[in-house]
Structure 1
Amino acid sequence: MPQLPRYEYTGPVDCTIPPDTAKLVGKSVIVTGGANGMGETTVRAFAAAGAFVTIADLNEERGKAIAEELSPNAQFVKCNITSWDEQVQLFEAAIANSPNKSCDIVIANAGISRASGDDLWPLDDPNGPPVKPQLKIIDVNITGTLYTWKLAVHYFRKQPDVPERDRCFIITGSMVAWIDSPANWQYTCSKYGLRGLMRTARRSSWEQGIRINYVAPCYIKSAIRSPEYEAQLIQKGVEFAPQEDVATCMMKLATDQTINGHSLMITPKSVSKEGFMDAGQDDHIEEGYFKRNQEVQLRIIEDKWDEGCIKGRTAEGALINGSQ
Structure 2
Amino acid sequence: MNKLEGKVAIVTGGARGMGESHVRKFVDEGAKVVLTDLNEEGGRALAEELGESVRFVRQDVTKAEDWQAVIEEAEAAFGPVQILVNNAGISMAKTIFDLTEEEYRKIVDINQISVFLGIKAVIPSMQKAGGGSIVNISSMNGLVGGAPGYTDTKFAVRGLTKAAALQLAGLGIRVNSVHPGVIETPMVTKGDAVDQIKEFAKHIPLKRVAKSEEVSNMVLFLASDDSSYSTGSEFVIDGGLTAM
TM-score w.r.t. structure 2 length? 0.89
- Residue of structure 2 aligned with 1:254, choices 217, 220, 223: 223
Shift of residue 41, structure 1, vs aligned partner: 0.4
Deviations 1:187-208 (A, max 9, x none): 1110000100112222222111
CA distance in 1, matches of 2:101, 2:159: 27
Q: Is the Cα contact below 8 Å between 1:152 and 1:169 reproduced in 2?
A: no
Q: Which amino acid aligns with 1:245?
A: E
- Residue of structure 2 aligned with 1:102, choices 80, 92, 106: 80
Q: 2:170 aligned with 1:207, yes or no?
A: yes
CA distance in 1, matches of 2:172, 2:132: 6
Shift of residue 228, structure 1, vs aligned partner: 5.4
CA distance in 2, matches of 1:96, 1:110: 23
Q: 2:14 aligned with 1:34, yes or no?
A: yes
Q: Which amino acid aligns with 1:107?
A: V
Structure 1's 79 and 133: CA in aligned 2 closer, same or farther, altered over 3 A?
Answer: closer
Q: What residue in structure 1 maps to residue 237 of structure 2?
A: 266
CA distance in 1, matches of 2:10, 2:237: 21
Q: Is the Cα contact below 8 Å between 1:199 and 1:261 reproduced in 2?
A: yes
Q: Is the Cα contact below 8 Å between 2:86 and 2:135 reproduced in 1?
A: yes
- Residue of structure 1 aligned with 2:157, choices 191, 194, 204: 194
CA distance in 1, matches of 2:127, 2:218: 25
Structure 1 residue runs of 5 or longer lacking an equivalent are: 1-20, 124-130, 273-278, 281-324
Q: What residue in structure 2 maps to residue 5 of structure 1?
A: none
Shift of residue 149, structure 1, vs aligned partner: 0.8
Shift of residue 251, structure 1, vs aligned partner: 0.7
Shift of residue 120, structure 1, vs aligned partner: 4.5
Shift of residue 154, structure 1, vs aligned partner: 2.5
Q: Which amino acid aligns with 1:178?
A: L
* C-alpha RMSD over aligned residues: 2.1
- Residue of structure 1 aligned with 2:123, choices 153, 175, 179: 153
CA distance in 1, matches of 2:113, 2:191: 33
* Percent of paired sites with the same residue: 32
Q: 2:199 aligned with 1:235, yes or no?
A: yes
Q: What pairs up with 1:1-324 in 2 under 5 angstroms?
A: 22-98=2-78, 101-114=79-92, 120-122=96-98, 132-134=101-103, 135-159=105-129, 161=130, 166-181=131-146, 184-225=147-188, 226=190, 229-236=193-200, 237-238=203-204, 239-255=208-224, 256=226, 257-268=228-239, 271=240
TM-score w.r.t. structure 1 length? 0.68
CA distance in 1, matches of 2:74, 2:121: 12
Instruction: Judging by fraction of residues, say which structure has more strand.
Output: 2
Q: Which amino acid aligns with 2:31?
A: A
Structure 1's 251 and 228: CA in aligned 2 closer, same or farther, altered over 3 A?
Answer: same
Which is higher, the Rg of structure 1 or of structure 2? 1
Partner secondary structure for residue 68 of structure 2: helix
Q: Is the Cα contact below 8 Å between 2:40 and 2:58 reproduced in 1?
A: yes
CA distance in 2, matches of 1:193, 1:122: 22
Deviations 1:102-125 (A, max 9, x none): 20100011111115xx584418xx
Structure 1's 65 and 75: CA in aligned 2 closer, same or farther, altered over 3 A?
Answer: same
CA distance in 2, matches of 1:119, 1:74: 39
Partner secondary structure for residue 114 of structure 1: coil
Partner secondary structure for residue 52 of structure 2: coil
Q: Is the Cα contact below 8 Å between 2:59 and 2:67 reproduced in 1?
A: yes
Structure 2 residue runs of 5 or longer lacking an equivalent are: none
Give the length in aligned residue pairs. Answer: 234
